Amino acid sequence: MFKYLRSLPNSLGRINTPLHDLFKLLPKFLALMLLLLTNIAYAATQVPLGEKEGRDIKTKELDSIVQNISATAPPKVSGEKNDSATPVAPSVDLKEIAPAPVPTPELMPPSPPQSEQPGSTTSTKDEPAIPKTKAVAQAPFVFLGSIVPPATATRLAWSPKVTIAGLTTPTPVLVINGKNPGDTLCMTAAIHGDELNGVEIIRRVMYDIDPKKLTGKIIGVPIVNIKGFQRGSRYLSDRRDLNRNFPGDAKGSLAARIAHSLFNEVIAHCDALIDLHTGSLRRTNLLQVRADMSNPDVMKFTEGFDETVVVHSPGEPGMLRQAAVDAGIVAITLEAGESLRLQEKQVKLAVKSINSLLQRENMYSRMFSWGTPEPTYYRSQWIRANKGGILFSHIGLGDFIKKGGALGTVTDPITNESSEITSPIAGRVIGMAVNQVVMPGFAAYHLGIETPENCLATTDDNESTVPESESVKLQTIPTGECARK
C-alpha cells in the first residue's frame, strides 16, 4: 500500500499528460482506495481487551437475570403435567372482531372442585387458618385443552371430530373466567340449526360481561349444530334431532357421537345450564322457562328469571336438559320466539331475563330493575284444528282466553267454508302457530293453565320432535281443584 502512496504525487504530477495516460492511472487509484477502506473497516472491528472483558461480564449478568425471572415464575396449574401441552388462552375483548376459531389441542378432563385443588392449604403454622366463609382466589380454568386465567374472557373451539378430517369445522365456544371464584353457568343455542334467536341472545349476554367483575365462570356455545345452522336446518346431516340423543354414545350414530362429545367436553364442566330454543316448524313461543318443577334445585333456579313465564315440563329422554339434570346439573330450557327469524323484541326480553338470573345468583351485579312477576303454569295443553285450510289467528302470544273463546279461524281456500277454533279451557297463549296452511289435527295453540303447585303434570311431550304431540296430557286428576276450568 505504501508503494502506491509514494507513487501518488508522481502520478498526480503528470496530470498534463495525454488523456490515454490518465486511463492507465485509474486502476492504480481504485486499488489504492479499496485498500484504504479495507484497513479502516478492520480497525473498527478491533475491541481493546478491557472492553471485551466488560462485555462478557454484562452478558453473564443478563443470563443471571433471566435465570432469576424463571425461578420466580408462577407455579404450574394444579393437574397440569406439561406446560407446553396446555397453552394459556389469550385474554380478549369479546366485543372486538376476531379471526375464525381453530381446533384446540388434546382435551383435558374437567378440573377438580376448588376445595380439592392442591395448594389451597398453603398457610403456615404462624398464620391464622382461613375461615371457610372467606373467599379464596379464583383458579385458572383448564378447559378444551387451554388454560383460562382468572379475570379473562377468551374464545376457544370445540370439535366433535365426526367429519372428514380435512373438512372439520370447529364450533366456537366463548369462555369468561371471572376474577372471583364461584359456580359455572353454561348457555347453549342452535342445537336445532334453524333456531336463531338463541345465537344472538348468547352473544349479547356474554359480550356485555366484564371478567374483572364476574364471580364464577360463564361458558357459551352459540351454535351447537353448526352444520344444521349453515343449511338452515333443524336437524343434523343424518336427519336426526340432536336434542334426542343426550348424553350420547361415543360409538353410536352421528348424532349420538356429537352429543357424547358436547356433553363430556363442555357440559360436564357446568353447575347450571340454560339451553336456548325457539318454536319449531312455523310456530312461535312466548318467552318462557321450561323446567321440571318437581326438582327443588331446578324450581329455585327458575326464580331468577325476571318477567318470564315458567312452564312445568319434565322433558323427554334424550333431551340435553334432562340428561344434564340426571347428571346433577341444574338445567332449564329457555324458549323465545320462532325459528328461522331474528326477533329483536324476543332477544331483548331473553337477555334481560338472563341478566336478572346472573344478579339473583350473585354472579354479576349491575343496575337492574325487577319487573312484574309472571306465573308458573304447572299444566298446559295444545289446541288442534279440526279442519284443513288457511289459519288466521284472532289472538296473540301472551293473551288470556276464556273457556269457549275464539282462538282463530281455518278457511278452505276452495269452498270458502270457515271453521272456528275455540278453546275448551281457560288459559293463556304461551305458544301458537303462525298463519299458514294447516291440516286436520294440526297443533295450533299452546295454552298455559293456572293450577296449584300440587297439580304437576305427570307426563309431558312439550318439546317433542313432532309438535303435534306437544301437550301435557291431563289424565291424572279429572276432578277437584286440578280439573280443567
* Mean pLDDT per 10-residue segment, the chain (485 residues): 52 53 68 73 56 49 44 40 69 79 52 42 39 64 95 95 76 96 97 97 97 97 95 93 96 95 97 97 96 97 96 95 97 97 97 96 90 92 96 97 97 96 97 96 96 70 40 40 51
3-class DSSP state of 358: helix
Distance CA 386, CA 415 (A): 16
Distance CA 248, CA 256 (A): 4
Is residue 288 exposed (0-12), middle (13-18) or buried (19+ Cβ within 10 Å)? buried
Cite the residue boundaries of each domain of the chain with CATH code 3.40.630.10: 87-108+136-360
> Is residue 187 within 8 Å of residue 218, measured between CB atoms?
yes
> Is residue 265 within 8 Å of residue 144, measured between CB atoms?
yes
11-21 residues labelled b (16+ CB within 10 A) or e (exposed): beeeeeeeeee
pLDDT on residue 309: 97
DSSP structure class, residue 88: B
pLDDT on residue 186: 98
pLDDT on residue 98: 74
User: CB 136: neighbour CB atoms within 10 A?
Assistant: 13
pLDDT on residue 342: 96
pLDDT on residue 132: 43
Whole-Å CA distances, 217 to 190, 304, 355:
21, 17, 14
Hey, which CATH number is domain 87-108+136-360, 3.40.630.10, 3.10.20.340, 3.30.530.20, 3.40.720.10? 3.40.630.10
Distance CA 286, CA 335 (A): 7
Q: Check: CATH 3.40.1160.10 for 379-482?
A: no
Q: The cell 507513487 sits on which residue? A: 7
Whole-Å CA distances, 386 to 287, 421, 425, 427, 471:
27, 8, 16, 20, 16
Q: Is the pTM of this model over 0.85?
A: no
CA 341 to chain centroid: 20
Cite the residue boundaries of each domain of the chain with CATH code 2.40.50.100: 379-482
Distance CA 16, CA 13 (A): 8
